[in-house]
Structure 1
Amino acid sequence: MAIKGILDLLRVKQWIKNLLLFAPLFFSGKFFDIFLIQQVCIGFFIFSITSSCVYILNDIKDIEKDKMHYRKKKRPLPSGILSLQTAWVIFGVLTSFLIVSFFFLPIYFVFLCVLYLTNNILYTLWLKNIAIIDVSMIAIGFVIRLFAGGLMVAVSPSNWLVLIIYLVALLLGFAKRREDVLIKENSGEVLRGSISNYSISFIDAVLSFLSGVISLLYILYTIEATTFAGKYKEYLYLTSFFLVIGILRYLQLVFTSEESDPTTLLYKDAILKIIVSLWLISITFLIYG
């Protein structure tokens, strides 16, 4: 139970978000270069430890609020599986490991890790209570991941990719806020300071707007195709079918179920997993075939 509690505290399942570090290398056409893959894997591990430190700090700060949340109360700290003292010890060990590791990593990658930590500390202590800014800070964290992955292999992500990732992160963030607004309307509980400034109608309008912009940007990105490698790149626009269907499926789940967390849905929803898999297979073939 203690080991499972520690893994839950570190949010190991959330490390899937850090796979974004591989995106610049993947779209560069050099994904099967063993040395470059090793470099990104190192970056992935370090960034995952960095994000775990953020999760621990956030759980320590919000322990009392989490005790009132129907789902978060099952986390290791509010449920009592792990003590606050244990959480601080784990945080200290991970932080010490990061400080030592930074001496062996590219300086700009270290800068982005520190920037990510700073961004999330500001979010945890203050900015999470300001509507719209709260979701924007989360989205910026995804963009930092993207640039961090590029720095590990000296590949700059395209402008298109940066914008798409930022907007997708906004979409996922607002979908999670929708769940908090529903909890407030159904039970009266305000779980975040920013929730009072959100409404279901506003969030639904934002989700519709972002879905359209993301779809348009991705279609233009794949039609332009000059930033891609591969002899079949002129057919990359066909992968837009999977992106649009994936967005629609995600929105369907957000609007019709009680779950809006993208990581949870990706693990649980078979249809969403199939769509993402087909997108990955198709775009891999078109770039590397």
Structure 2
Amino acid sequence: MTLLQPIPPVTSAGIARALPEVLAVDLDGTLLRSNMLHETFWSAFGADWRTPFAAAARFRQGKAPLKALLAERSSVDVSVLPYDAQVIAYIRRWRAEGGKVALVTAADQRLANAIAAHLSLFDDVFGSNGVRNLKGPAKARFLVERYGAGNYAYMGDTYADAEVWRNSGHAVVKSRSARVRATASAHHSFHAIEPPAGSLHGVLRALRPHQWLKNALVFLAMLGAHQFDGETVLRALGAFVAFSLVASSVYLVNDLLDLSADRAHARKCNRPFASGAAAIELGLPVAAMLLLSGTIIAALLGPMFLLVLGIYYVTTTAYSLALKRHTIIDVCVLAGLYTIRVLAGGVATGVPISVWLLAFSLFIFFSLAAVKRQAELVDAVKDGKLKIHGRGYHPDDLALVSQMAVASGFVSVLVMTLYLSSDDVMQIYPQAELLWGVTPVLLFWISRVIFKAHRGEMHDDPIVFAAKDRGSILCGALIFAFAVGASMP
């Protein structure tokens, strides 16, 4: 723990004391690298899509009633919340040196009680009660009534705590804001805890730019038709940017809805919102901004592309809210979302999508979606879990899901083989016979991906895995070489 000054001794009653006996600690942004109002909203929203409407109606009555409603409807697992280790260490030292600690938060009392019971660090626990919102001046009045002016120390992180610090006998601040630090340091006794690094980098990571690789599927229609004029390329690039912006918007919302599930996952617990590296309250505004930007670009590409992008957004939102919890349906939806990108590329560029391309896309993307679930099930079996958190699958389903991945992947190779035998190929490629080299490479790659997943060596997303895996990159290079050779006059 890094403190700007050491904590003066806190001794038992009857001995001269340098600090008040009681340390009141704020929750949101101080003890917790998150905000319980937003945590409960997204938890409740994930369980019931009607939550925003109920929350808007309750908000008219005030913040305290709203917090009570969300606390009642949510199911936040307090054991995996992103607590600040520095703050916890400070509290433990305060207690070890004879002081008492109270959790005093604007979060609902039920949540405060659950967190206090989990941490076992507090002598008293006070939160909002559905009528009184224990924040700012209300919190200051409460602490003065409870302990007396100057008879408590207070640890907070925002300017909203100004009056609380003004009435305290000791200020502890966890903030990089010069204004907040100046407000807290106006007291004769002041300490500062360095907060973790800012959340801008965390928000950028939450956009998952590495996942934009999937949106390169919008170029398939153009590549398959060998149509590389300036307008077609420009419209394809516009489609790629629009899909990337909207996809990142969806990723943000998905991460907010999946907070508890991500925190229970060995790797996903490091995602920015789950770990507290990104401020949870930034999630929705940034998602809205990305969605608006993507929609504007889509509108410039025409109403049909805007419609396809709208279908993608609605489907992905439905997937995040409900469909991902249903077996088989989730895999079908994931395969469909990949295929929609291919269709969108055709709509944006005006290049017709062949039946062969659609059939191949459906089968290979169904296989990769099944591989994604296969990898999660393999991890679940290793960890001894009875069920994948937030999904409808059980470890016993592993064999069946693996068979689905193999069967669909091999059917996609069959579709490719039939396509190479068609008259369409002879008309497009002067050296069409060279394309037969694609079939064994594709068969090898699909088999390898499934084998990697079976061994637990697969990334959560097989597309991202393929972009980093040397074997996959080599296979892609071979397929590209065969395609270029076949195109030579």
Same fold (TM over 0.5): yes
Aligned mate of 1:97, from 282, 285, 293? 293
Is the aligned partner of 1:210 residue 2:408? yes
Aligned mate of 1:6, from 186, 203, 207? 203
State the match for 2:165 in structure 1: none
In 1, the alpha carbon distance for the partners of 2:342 and 2:299 equals 21
Amino acid at match of 1:219: T
State the match for 1:24 in structure 2: 221
Maintained 8 Å contact 1:131/1:198: no
Is the aligned partner of 1:121 residue 2:317? yes
Aligned mate of 2:245, from 49, 62, 67? 49
Aligned mate of 1:65, from 256, 261, 284? 261
Match runs of 1:1-289 below 5 Å = 2-30=199-227, 32-185=228-381, 186-188=383-385, 190-196=388-394, 199-226=397-424, 229-260=428-459, 261-287=461-487
Name the TM-score, length of structure 1 as normaliser.
0.93
Question: Deviation of residue 262 (structure 1)?
Answer: 1.1
In 2, the alpha carbon distance for the partners of 1:10 and 1:236 equals 37
Gaps of 5+ in 1: none
Question: Deviation of residue 171 (structure 1)?
Answer: 0.9
Question: Deviation of residue 120 (structure 1)?
Answer: 0.7
Q: How many corresponding residue pairs?
A: 288
Maintained 8 Å contact 1:29/1:287: no
Structure 1 range deviating more: 267-276 or 142-151: 267-276
In 2, the alpha carbon distance for the partners of 1:148 and 1:194 equals 30
Question: Deviation of residue 100 (structure 1)?
Answer: 3.1
Amino acid at match of 1:28: A
Gaps of 5+ in 2: 1-196
Question: Deviation of residue 137 (structure 1)?
Answer: 0.5
Structure 1 range deviating more: 204-213 or 70-79: 204-213
Maintained 8 Å contact 1:164/1:218: yes
Q: How large is the RMSD of aligned CA atoms in angstroms?
A: 1.9
Q: Larger relative CO (CA 8 A, sep 6+): 1 or 2?
A: 1
4+ runs of 1 displaced by more than 4 Å? none
In 2, the alpha carbon distance for the partners of 1:225 and 1:91 equals 46
C-alpha spacing 1:62/1:147, structure 2 compared with 1 (3 Å): same
The answer to which structure has the higher strand fraction is 2
Maintained 8 Å contact 1:29/1:288: no
The answer to which structure has the higher helix fraction is 1
Name the TM-score, length of structure 2 as normaliser.
0.56
User: Which has more radius of gyration?
Assistant: 2
DSSP-derived class of the 2:353 partner: coil
In 2, the alpha carbon distance for the partners of 1:124 and 1:198 equals 24
Maintained 8 Å contact 1:225/1:233: no
What is the identity percentage for the equivalent residue pairs of Structure 1 and Structure 2? Answer: 24
Amino acid at match of 2:325: N
In 2, the alpha carbon distance for the partners of 1:234 and 1:183 equals 42
Amino acid at match of 2:419: Y
